[in-house]
């Protein structure tokens, strides 16, 4: 067995997306080979409804899959194909945009105004970019949760782990998506198939991974005496750790324990032509998609690229 070394470690960066949603970008719109087959990940976490209530109005997607995981609050969603629904705390939606849809997502806070969730984008291989769009909405109760003897908790969102299999299937990237909590002071090792690329995203507590320094916090905006200042969150959360080759990931939890997403998938190693939520393989395909969006022929539903 070989422990995966750390290839890259970084904090998140603040962004405003949609109609004014304040979020933290974990990665995206940089070098896609670093996290191939995953393109982008956002952490939308806020206790102020003014920072997220306007949501993500109608926007297009093509050539990718989006994975939305809600921890607090709800997200109402709908699309141009007539799909409608609401994601609640603990729920997951895996949307295969394929040949193209128009989509909207409107977050709402819980009783205390809290909203927290993640959205991850996975690339589709060339052969599947123009497939028929589909949804897999999974309620929290259907996601296997494993509690080990030392108190470690693993929610198996996608893939198989410790003898349990998540409810989402038929995904091109053959991913594994785990929500892991390790109690204070515990050291744990988790298997990851050697053919997958893998990353961890720390979002609660702190800890360290082999060959990595202690995860560091992100600069967050605070209002003090009427002034907006940046303060570094020292809890260790909001840290991205990208791993190199190997078949295990080892973490040492800090004094408050650690909670992180451990995500892995089979890299596509294909060219990427990217414009916002449209991801193709060539600039010509991308230009065609943008032209179709403008002339009203973007929605294909099931038409395949030859």
- What pLDDT sits at residue 60? 92
Q: What is the pLDDT of residues 243-267, one digit of tens each?
A: 999 999 999 998 899 999 999 999 9
Q: What is the mean pLDDT of residues 137-144?
A: 93
Which pLDDT band holds residue 224 (cuts at 50, 70, 90)?
low
Distance CA 294, CA 296 (A): 6
Q: What is the mean pLDDT of residues 159-180?
A: 86
Q: What is the pLDDT of residues 19-34, one digit of tens each?
A: 999 999 999 988 999 9
Q: Rounded to an integer, what is the distance from CA 115 to the centroid of its chain?
A: 16
The dihedral sign for the CA sequence 6, 8, 9, 14: negative
Across the strands, what pairs with 158? 168, 177
Sequence-ordered list of residues with C-beta below 8 angstroms from that of 108, at least 6 positions apart, any chain? 49, 53, 73, 74, 75, 76, 115
Check residues 41 and 230 and name the one with the higher pLDDT: 41
Structure tokens at 11: 């904090």
* Predicted model pTM: 0.89
Distance CA 25, CA 27 (A): 6
Using an 8 Å Cβ cutoff, are 120 and 38 in contact? Answer: yes
Q: What is the mean pLDDT of residues 188-210?
A: 92
Check residues 213 and 78 and name the one with the higher pLDDT: 78
Which pLDDT band holds residue 171 (cuts at 50, 70, 90)?
confident
Domain 6-295 homologous superfamily, CATH: Jelly Rolls (2.60.120.10)
The answer, yes or no, to whether residue 302 has pLDDT greater than 80, is no
Q: What is the mean pLDDT of residues 110-134?
A: 93
For the chain, what percent of residues have pLDDT higher than 90?
A: 66
Q: Is the peptide bond before 171 cis (omega within 30 degrees of 0)?
A: no
- What pLDDT sits at residue 211? 60
Rg (CA), the chain: 19
Q: What is the mean pLDDT of residues 283-288?
A: 96
Q: What is the pLDDT of residues 40-63, one digit of tens each?
A: 999 999 999 999 999 999 999 999
- What pLDDT sits at residue 227? 60
Which pLDDT band holds residue 222 (cuts at 50, 70, 90)?
very low
- What pLDDT sits at residue 305? 33
């Amino acid at each position: 067995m070989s422990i995966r070394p750390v290839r890259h470690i970084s904090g998140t960066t603040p962004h405003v997306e949609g109609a004014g949603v304040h979020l933290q970008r974990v990665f995206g719109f940089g070098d896609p080979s670093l996290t191939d087959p995953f393109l982008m990940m956002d952490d939308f976490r806020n206790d102020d409804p003014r920072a997220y209530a306007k949501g993500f109005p109608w926007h297009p997607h093509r050539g990718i899959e989006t994975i939305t995981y809600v921890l607090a609050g709800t997200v109402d969603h709908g699309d141009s194909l007539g799909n409608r629904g609401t994601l609640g705390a603990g729920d997951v939606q895996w949307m295969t945009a394929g040949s193209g849809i128009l989509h909207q997502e409107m977050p709402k806070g819980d009783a205390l105004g809290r909203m927290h969730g993640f959205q991850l984008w996975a690339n589709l291989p060339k052969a599947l970019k123009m497939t028929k769009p589909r949804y897999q909405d999974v309620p929290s109760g259907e996601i296997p949760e494993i509690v080990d003897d030392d108190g470690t908790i693993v929610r198996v969102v996608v893939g198989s782990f410790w003898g349990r299999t998540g409810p989402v299937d038929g995904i091109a990237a053959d991913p594994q998506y785990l929500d892991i909590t390790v109690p204070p002071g515990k050291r744990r090792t988790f298997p990851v198939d050697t053919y997958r690329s893998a990353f961890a995203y720390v979002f609660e507590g702190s800890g360290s991974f082999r060959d990595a320094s202690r995860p560091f916090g992100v600069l967050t905006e605070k209002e003090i005496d009427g002034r907006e200042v940046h303060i570094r969150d020292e809890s260790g959360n909001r840290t991205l750790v990208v791993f190199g080759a190997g078949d295990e990931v080892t973490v040492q939890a800090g004094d408050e324990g650690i909670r992180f997403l451990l995500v892995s998938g089979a890299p596509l190693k294909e060219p990427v032509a990217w414009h916002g939520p449209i991801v193709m393989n060539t600039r010509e395909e991308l230009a065609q998609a943008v032209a179709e969006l403008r002339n009203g022929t973007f929605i294909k539903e099931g038409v395949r690229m030859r």
